[in-house]
Structure 1
Amino acid sequence: MDSSGEALRTSQEDSNRILVLGNSEINGSDNSICTSKYTILNFFPKAIREQFRRVGNVYFLFIGFVMLIGTYTTAWESAASPFTTLGPLAFVISVSLVQEASADVARHRNDKKTNTHPCILLKCAEDLDKSDKKRVRDESVFNGKDIEISLDIHQRSEDESNLPLPKAYTTSVSIDVKNEKTKTVKLAFERVQRKDIYAGDIVLMKSRDMVPADIILLATSNQGGSAYIETSSIDGETNLKLRSSPQIPNDELNLLQQTETLEQAAKRLAGLTLLGYPSGVNAAENPLNNYRETEVEREESYRRISSKSSTFKGMFASSKRSMAYGGSINRKKSKDVDTETYVASLLSEPPNPNVNNYTGKLTLPPGKDGDPSITIPLNNDNILLRGAVLRNTEWAIGVACFTGDDTKLVLNSFTTPSKFSNLDKLMNKTVYVIFFVMIVLISLMAIGAVVTNSNRFDEFWYFGLNKNTTQVWPYLPDLPPPEWETTTDNFIQQFLLFLTLLSSFVPLSLYVTVEIVTFWMMYFINTDKDIYHPKTDTPALARSTIVTDLGRVSYIFSDKTGTLTRNVMRFKRCSVDGLAFGAPIEKKSPKATQEKEEEKSKEGDGNISSEAFHPLKQLLVGTVSIPSLET
């Protein structure tokens, strides 16, 4: 963290991440986030340290200790009681600590609200029932009922290894096979808190839901497995962005025009992940993957085989890929028979803050024995970033890739800074100047005191100064001799004495006044009805450390239309094939008064006939609009 506290969050992970779909990486990072600055244990040390970033607080603390030592020791004298300085200083710091605590409590509440927001995970029902802690099913999905499916048990002998089996990634995994090589698995949709999502979990999102983590899209309710997201909380853009699922081979899905129900998608994913095969092996570890040949090697192998035997060529002319690729695999698998059941895995780039790029690889289990696993490259079009909102999509399912502090949104955020207002900076500079002037005056006064006491020592008997300790008081000879001081204070003692005397050069009341004024400014801003948004029930939130800077704003820079203004597109006039639609546009005089301009603005499109624009309405609406599935 830099000195200002505004440091980008970084990830400790620098290598590619390998995830098996359906396997929760509980030992990894959870999905909780923390934007607060303090905890119960470190609040006082850190918050008090922040208070002494103000030079005035350091100054008065030093003066208080000088007064304390001068009052209760004989090292030097103090011109005032230490409590006249330390008392008001303690009050000022206490008020600031209360403001810091209240602001951080609000951060903790927001973090708790975010981390405990309900989310839905696709889990094996057996895991939920056998868990030691209470785990609940989400009643909004299938009324909390489980989904029962049948899956093949992939146990094959060497003689059976050449026989193709039904694909595990078809639309409906329920297979009516009348043999003993099937098993029944129940799936459940579990309701969990957002913080309990881990990398590898299968997450279900509904329309208008915020994406809880960085998620690789696997299935949606839309055609082709696409989804729309709104990323206004990430990049400020309100237009919808299209994201797509990886192009998973799915013959039956194509027959259904690439649409599927939530139940079909859950069944399909179960056949690919640990949800259906808890003892499955990472598909990336398939030994036949090492025998995969490139397209060039396949072509060369085919040409080499074709040139040696015309009979061979005629026999396999219709399946060049099968000869050059599948044949090579079949020669290998006769020695290394694979009896494992493979499940999908994800090879992902390490966590990084780049929100515009993503690279990864999804490895699916082979469609049949003797085939290598299916590898699908992933890019930025396949990932949903945390903070985005699912739109125009009834539901979407994906696998959590990055969670919590590893998400791109969090890695792009700054650690909560300790902001220092311009007023505090100005007061610090002023204190430096005043302190410099005070030091000069105190030095001159201390030098003058030392010189005067040295030159006129004998004349200052009324100060109790006398080198003859037996001499009685002048003019009072009947009284016994007093305890005369035979020496005077040196320069340092005189300096510290005058320092306590002139300590009010820096007004402590200034800091007290600033704290009180800041408190009431925050109160008035938070309760101002003119800056209250009733639709979202959102009042203005004043920041205690920078609220005093509002009066020092001179310029406002806005990045684009829509930040401080409204982007409203109004039809004025158009011409189609020589036919004009809309009222004529009047030329505005540069000397027109503001009242006249406002009057024209209020009139709006009143002169435009809706009937006149009707011929183009359906054409334009059908061209630029996207049908919304949201209610």
Structure 2
Amino acid sequence: MMEEVWQKVVVGDIIKMENNQFVAADLLLLSTSEPNSLCYIETAELDGETNLKVRQALPETAEIDNDIVKFSEFDGEIICEAPNNRLPKFEGKLNWQGQTYSLDNDKILLRGCVLRNTQWCYGLVVFSGHESKLMMNCGKTVFKRTNIDRLMNDLIIGIFIFLLSMCLICTIACGIWESQIAGDKFQIYLPWESYIPGTILGTKDGSVTEGATTLSLLTFFSYIIVLNTVVPISLYVSVEIIRMGNSLLINWDSKMYYEAKDDPAKARTTALNEELGQIEYIFSDKTGTLTQNIMEFRKASINGKSYGDYLDASGTALEITESDDSVFIGDSDLEPRTSTPVSKLYILVT
């Protein structure tokens, strides 16, 4: 038994996991510390469910228990389906000691699960790395951007294209000026650099046209430096400062303060504040996600006494609370029944 990082786990390895540890690969459960070779896992990383699920090892492999020597001699062969992204399904068989055992999803621990309420368990790696079901279900990561971010990106790209166009026009104008108008004559007062062809310094041979072309190309980068202020880089900083101020206003908003639990609003990110309230789609998986499942007590008969809604002479239901002294049913000569048991029963059922 040796300790190893999860990246080096390969198919065929037998690994030991302890309580509250993540499963590093798709495993065939061999034995656990719990009775009947049961183990409990949390699959919140796979399907979002926080309730614990039960997995059980084969009774034949469960007899190995925690014996390292027997695990080192384990020579079982697994024949199963090819790697796929179907989380709730697994088909295969285990050939071991001349016997064949059927395998299903109840005997498999998938990568991404967390071992819970189980001291330890052993598993045989079936799929690892990119062949595990978790990785097969992974798609491309989508970076969330707000509408303002998209608009600013488009504006910056447009401004940068405008900057390049301005620099290109100025470069062409510089080449025309230096070669055809008066640039060449100005060398008497401001000679070209020594590395430019056609300079009056005589350091490099060439025509005036070649020198003007070289000079204009070098001037292109100078124009980019001179006109770089056209691109509003500070715009991003200004927007982030505004977002931070908006998040502070959300944190300080007294109307979003829940006094019962002393819980104020908390802006955990400044990247999506401007998208608040702009709901485009609502997805609901089942009843109860957007509604409340509430049970309300109606009627009950306890020890021969009937409890429920009392009606007045007009047939309207009377609301009974603990503050009421007594309640009479029907005629006034009937025994009064206090409302305390009814209120307690209502609280219990609700």
Distance in 2, matches of 1:508 and 1:201, equals 62
1:446–1:529 Cα change, 3 Å:
closer
- Paired position in structure 2 for 1:388: 113
Aligned match of 1:433 in 141, 153, 158? 158
Distance in 2, matches of 1:447 and 1:352, equals 60
Instruction: Tell me how far 1:378 sits from its aligned partner.
Output: 0.6
More off after superposition, 373-382 vs 395-404: 395-404
Residue 572 of structure 1 aligns to a residue in which SS?
Answer: coil
Identity rate of aligned residues, in percent?
21
Q: Letter of the aligned partner of 2:212 in structure 1?
A: N
* 1:32 pairs with 2:6: yes
- Paired position in structure 1 for 2:64: 269
Instruction: Tell me how far 1:236 sits from its aligned partner.
Output: 0.8
Residue 609 of structure 1 aligns to a residue in which SS?
Answer: helix
Aligned match of 2:344 in 598, 607, 610? 610
Aligned match of 2:223 in 486, 497, 501? 501
Distance in 2, matches of 1:461 and 1:221, equals 95
Instruction: Tell me how far 1:413 sits from its aligned partner.
Output: 3.8
Distance in 2, matches of 1:395 and 1:351, equals 29
Superposed CA deviations along residues 107-136 of structure 1, whole A, max 9, x for unmatched, are xxxxxxxxxxxxxxxxxxxxxxxxxxxxxx
- Paired position in structure 2 for 1:201: 14
Distance in 1, matches of 2:108 and 2:299, equals 43
1:346–1:202 Cα change, 3 Å:
farther
Q: What stretches of structure 1 of length at least 5 have no aligned partner?
A: 1-23, 34-194, 251-264, 283-343, 366-372, 467-481, 531-538, 587-607, 618-631
Residue 497 of structure 1 aligns to a residue in which SS?
Answer: helix
Residue 69 of structure 2 aligns to a residue in which SS?
Answer: coil
Superposed CA deviations along residues 512-534 of structure 1, whole A, max 9, x for unmatched, are 663697599789989x988xxxx
Instruction: Tell me how far 1:231 sits from its aligned partner.
Output: 1.4
Aligned match of 2:41 in 205, 229, 232? 229
CA root-mean-square deviation: 5.6
Residue 233 of structure 2 aligns to a residue in which SS?
Answer: helix
Superposed CA deviations along residues 53-104 of structure 1, whole A, max 9, x for unmatched, are xxxxxxxxxxxxxxxxxxxxxxxxxxxxxxxxxxxxxxxxxxxxxxxxxxxx
- Paired position in structure 1 for 2:123: 399
1:583–1:413 Cα change, 3 Å:
farther
Distance in 2, matches of 1:274 and 1:199, equals 16
Instruction: Tell me how far 1:381 sits from its aligned partner.
Output: 1.7
Residue 510 of structure 1 aligns to a residue in which SS?
Answer: coil
1:356–1:540 Cα change, 3 Å:
farther
* 1:551 pairs with 2:285: no
- Paired position in structure 2 for 1:514: 236
Q: Does the Cα contact within 8 Å between 1:226 and 1:245 map onto a contact in 2?
A: yes
- Paired position in structure 1 for 2:104: 379
Residue 276 of structure 1 aligns to a residue in which SS?
Answer: helix
Instruction: Tell me how far 1:420 sits from its aligned partner.
Output: 8.4
Residue 233 of structure 1 aligns to a residue in which SS?
Answer: helix
Distance in 2, matches of 1:583 and 1:212, equals 61
Q: Letter of the aligned partner of 1:269 in structure 2?
A: I
Distance in 2, matches of 1:389 and 1:456, equals 78
- Paired position in structure 1 for 2:88: 356
Instruction: Tell me how far 1:399 sits from its aligned partner.
Output: 1.7
- Paired position in structure 1 for 2:320: none
Distance in 1, matches of 2:135 and 2:298, equals 47
Q: Does the Cα contact within 8 Å between 1:582 and 1:613 map onto a contact in 2?
A: no
Distance in 2, matches of 1:525 and 1:198, equals 49
Instruction: Kindly report which structure 2 residues correspond to 1:22-101, keeping only aligned pairs within 5 A, or say none.
Output: 32-33=6-7
Distance in 2, matches of 1:525 and 1:197, equals 47
Q: What stretches of structure 2 of length at least 5 have no aligned partner?
A: 191-199, 253-265, 317-341
TM-score (norm 1): 0.34
Residue 399 of structure 1 aligns to a residue in which SS?
Answer: strand
Instruction: Tell me how far 1:573 sits from its aligned partner.
Output: 4.0
Q: Does the Cα contact within 8 Å between 1:359 and 1:379 map onto a contact in 2?
A: yes
Distance in 1, matches of 2:119 and 2:346, equals 40
